[in-house]
């Protein structure tokens, strides 16, 4: 749990927009008395203007709920020594500058307090930041917060993920995702990872990488309106159940349009990621050139991710087996993309 003490300053609004409405964040107005929502140890973050005289008294009242030895991070503008003195008087155990707010998510303890990070995601600052951003963003999306590809949260989640994959490599990134217990999110995270990995290998421009990254994160957003028991059902589906599942692309598009999605390529990915080049896919049975390249790419990533995922009752395919399955789909998928995907996917076995 990250307990964030806020006022109405710019620092507080910067921190709010960074953290969104994560369930692991408790936002507390400075001066209020409150009950911590957690049992274990929390991390505290002071996102207030410490130059105001009344602030210190208010902070002391609010910090009354802080337990012994709980970490207290204060945000202080770069050159303000008075505020540094204030922060240290208040017991700050760490101070960060206002320009370093965005890097908070790379702090190992903060990232861990926000998202219980798998061990493999903890090892590199860019991995910690990307992982934390993705999980916070996806939890908010699946909890019903309006989302589209041009929001700050989506843009930052995609940018840091591209950076993480470029820095540590796709396979270590994917391995970290595999250890994350929330299986609703891991599918989306894997699709995004494989799409970006394939996009990088195809030499896509940063703009196109952003589209497939955002498309990956949002592609199954429509499943948010379908009962989880049905989404997770392992056995054969009845015709009605299949119809409900097949409605998720249309629901997703409706949600994104409702939120003001500005990018037609992203909408296309969400709407048509289950189309097959031979016309056997859904929802519209599109064929060949009617399916644009970025959508085809996400389809390859989506099918592969579903095969290598480890879900209760559905053992994961090895990278080799999953890739062979893609090949067996033949003309249903874009053969040139599947061929290109070989080095992306099979690096796993190396
Ligand atoms: Fe889907
Ligand atoms: Fe999917």
Q: Whose CA is closest to 322, among 310, 336, 332?
A: 310
Task: For the chain, give every domain's residue range.
Answer: 2-108, 118-349
Average of per-residue pLDDT across 157-178: 93
Give the separation between CA 59 and CA 53, rounded to whole angstroms.
Answer: 11
Domains 2-108 and 118-349 share a fold: no
Average of per-residue pLDDT across 133-137: 91
User: Could you tell me which residues come within 8 angstroms of residue 142 by beta carbon, excluding any fewer than 6 positions away?
Assistant: 184, 185, 221, 224
Question: What's the CA-to-centroid distance between 8 and ligand 1, angstroms?
Answer: 41
Question: What's the CA-to-centroid distance between 249 and ligand 1, angstroms?
Answer: 6
Question: What's the CA-to-centroid distance between 284 and ligand 1, angstroms?
Answer: 14
Q: Under DSSP, is residue 179 helix (H, G, I), strand (E, B) or coil?
A: coil
Other CB atoms within a 10 A radius of the CB of residue 328 amount to: 9
Question: What's the CA-to-centroid distance between 219 and ligand 2, angstroms?
Answer: 6
The percentage of residues in the chain with a pLDDT greater than 90, rounded to a whole number, is: 58
Phi, psi of 226 (to 5 degrees): -110, 135
User: Could you tell me which residues come within 8 angstroms of residue 286 by beta carbon, excluding any fewer than 6 positions away?
Assistant: 272, 275, 279
User: Could you tell me which residues come within 8 angstroms of residue 220 by beta carbon, excluding any fewer than 6 positions away?
Assistant: 187, 188, 191, 248, 252
Beta strand segments in the chain, E: 2-6, 25-29, 43-47, 72-76, 94-97
Question: From the centroid of its chain, how far is CA 180?
Answer: 12
Ligand sitting nearest the alpha carbon of 283: 1
What confidence category does residue 348 fall into, taking pLDDT thresholds of 50, 70 and 90? Answer: low
Ligand sitting nearest the alpha carbon of 195: 2
Ligand sitting nearest the alpha carbon of 304: 2
- Report for 4-13, 56-65, 173-182, 241-250: range of highest mean pLDDT: 241-250
pLDDT score of 161: 96
- Report for 65-79, 292-306, 307-321: range of highest mean pLDDT: 292-306
Average of per-residue pLDDT across 255-268: 95
Q: Is the pLDDT of residue 349 over 50?
A: no
pLDDT score of 145: 81
Question: What's the CA-to-centroid distance between 117 and ligand 1, angstroms?
Answer: 26
Q: Which carries the bigger pLDDT value, residue 140 or residue 249?
A: 249
- Report for 107-116, 231-240, 310-319, 331-340: range of highest mean pLDDT: 331-340
Ligand sitting nearest the alpha carbon of 305: 2
The percentage of residues in the chain with a pLDDT greater than 70, rounded to a whole number, is: 99
Ligand sitting nearest the alpha carbon of 194: 2
Q: Which carries the bigger pLDDT value, residue 10 or residue 212?
A: 212
In CATH terms, the fold of domain 2-108 is: Rossmann fold (3.40.50)
Q: Is the pLDDT of residue 41 over 50?
A: yes
Ligand sitting nearest the alpha carbon of 184: 2
Residue-wise pLDDT tens digits, 316-343: 899 999 999 999 999 999 999 999 999 9
Average of per-residue pLDDT across 155-160: 92
Question: What's the CA-to-centroid distance between 309 and ligand 1, angstroms?
Answer: 14
Question: What's the CA-to-centroid distance between 18 and ligand 2, angstroms?
Answer: 26
Strand partners, 25: 2
What confidence category does residue 350 fall into, taking pLDDT thresholds of 50, 70 and 90? Answer: very low
Average of per-residue pLDDT across 169-194: 91
Give the separation between CA 249 and CA 322, rounded to whole angstroms.
Answer: 24
Residue-wise pLDDT tens digits, 1-33: 899 999 888 888 888 888 876 778 889 999 888
Q: Whose CA is closest to 43, among 10, 5, 11, 96?
A: 5
Question: What's the CA-to-centroid distance between 194 and ligand 1, angstroms?
Answer: 15
- Helices 152-168 & 170-178 angle (0-180, nearest 10): 120
DSSP 60-84: HHHGGGPPTT--EEEEE-TT-HHHH
Task: Give the architecture-level CATH label for domain 118-349.
Answer: Orthogonal Bundle (1.10)
Question: What's the CA-to-centroid distance between 283 and ligand 2, angstroms?
Answer: 14
pLDDT score of 101: 86
Q: Residues whose CB is under 5 A from ligand 2 (ion)?
A: 220, 302
Give the separation between CA 308 and CA 190, rounded to whole angstroms.
Answer: 9
């Amino acid at each position: 749990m990250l307990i964030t003490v806020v006022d109405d300053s710019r620092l507080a609004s910067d921190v709010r927009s960074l953290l969104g409405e994560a369930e692991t964040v408790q936002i507390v107005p400075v001066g209020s008395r409150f009950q911590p929502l957690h049992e274990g140890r929390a991390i505290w973050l002071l996102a207030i203007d410490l130059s105001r005289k009344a602030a210190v008294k208010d902070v002391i009242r609010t910090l009354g709920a802080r337990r012994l030895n709980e970490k207290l991070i204060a945000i202080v503008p770069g050159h303000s020594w008075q505020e540094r003195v204030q922060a240290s008087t208040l017991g700050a155990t760490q101070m960060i500058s206002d320009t370093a707010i965005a890097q908070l998510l790379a702090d190992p303890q903060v990232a861990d307090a926000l998202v219980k990070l798998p061990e493999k995601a903890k090892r590199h600052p860019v991995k910690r930041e990307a992982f934390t951003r993705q999980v916070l963003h996806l939890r908010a999306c699946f909890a019903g917060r309006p989302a589209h590809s041009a929001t700050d949260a989506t843009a930052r989640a995609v940018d840091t993920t591209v950076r993480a994959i470029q820095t540590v490599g796709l396979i270590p990134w994917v391995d970290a995702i595999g250890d994350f217990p929330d299986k609703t999110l891991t599918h989306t995270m894997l699709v995004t990872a494989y799409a970006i990995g394939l996009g990088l290998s195809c030499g896509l421009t940063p703009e196109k990488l952003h589209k497939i990254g955002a498309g990956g994160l949002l592609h199954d957003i429509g499943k948010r309106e379908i009962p989880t028991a049905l989404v997770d059902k392992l056995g054969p589906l009845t015709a009605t159940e299949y119809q409900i599942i097949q409605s998720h692309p249309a629901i997703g598009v409706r949600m994104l349009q409702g939120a003001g999605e500005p990018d037609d390529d992203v909408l296309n990915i969400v709407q048509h990621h289950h189309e097959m080049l031979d016309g056997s896919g859904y929802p519209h049975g599109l064929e060949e050139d009617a399916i644009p390249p970025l959508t085809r790419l996400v389809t390859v990533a989506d099918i592969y991710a579903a095969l290598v995922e480890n879900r209760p009752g559905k053992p994961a395919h090895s990278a080799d087996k999953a890739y062979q399955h893609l090949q067996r789909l033949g003309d249903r998928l874009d053969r040139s993309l599947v061929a290109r995907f070989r080095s992306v996917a099979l690096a796993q076995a190396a």
